[in-house]
Amino acid sequence: MATETPPPSKTPAALPSAEEFTAVRESAEFAELRRSHRSFAFPLTVAFIAWYLLYVLLSNYAGGFMGTKLFGNVNVALALGLAQFLTTFLIAWWYARHAAAQLDPKAEAIKSRMEGGA
């Protein structure tokens, strides 16, 4: 009776130590990655929140202006409301491009260095 040999088990790669994670977190390369992310994300977040609050405030306190007909049954409120959706998608698209061009290569370099040294 022949016995089957079990398939070779894959041993998981050793994870980097806490000291290695700390060293990477304190490195100039990681600081540059965080700076690149923050310099893009924070200003856009503030701008979008301001734009959204402007829309809400206009809706609450400038009813006459928001009710102004632009054409047909489309008024300023509807146009600005639809522009909220448009800017949301534009910001998401712009961030995806920024991340692919600026953030992902830096993050991949850090990741491969961490995994290669493990």
Cα angle, residue 89 at apex, residues 86 and 91 outer, rounded to 5°: 105
Could you tell me if residue 88 is inside a domain?
A: yes
pLDDT for residue 10: 52
Which of 1-5, 54-58, 103-107 shows the lowest per-residue confidence on average (mean pLDDT)?
Answer: 1-5
Could you tell me if residue 25 is inside a domain?
A: no
For residue 94, the enclosing domain spans 41-117
Beta strands in the chain (DSSP E): 69-71, 74-75
Measured distance CA(1)–CA(114) in Å, rounded: 47
Residue 6 DSSP symbol: P
94 confidence band (pLDDT: 50, 70, 90) = very high
Could you tell me if residue 101 is inside a domain?
A: yes
Could you tell me if residue 12 is inside a domain?
A: no
Could you tell me if residue 26 is inside a domain?
A: no
Per-residue model confidence as pLDDT tens digits over 16-52: 778 888 888 888 998 999 999 999 999 999 999 999 9
pLDDT surpassing 70 at residue 12? no
Could you tell me if residue 46 is inside a domain?
A: yes
Could you tell me if residue 57 is inside a domain?
A: yes
pTM for the whole thing?
0.73
pLDDT for residue 23: 86
Return the closest-CA partner of residue 112 out of 37, 4, 24: 24
Could you tell me if residue 76 is inside a domain?
A: yes
Measured distance CA(18)–CA(87) in Å, rounded: 41
Overall domain count for the chain: 1
Per-residue model confidence as pLDDT tens digits over 43-89: 999 999 999 999 999 999 999 999 999 999 999 999 999 999 999 99
3 confidence band (pLDDT: 50, 70, 90) = low
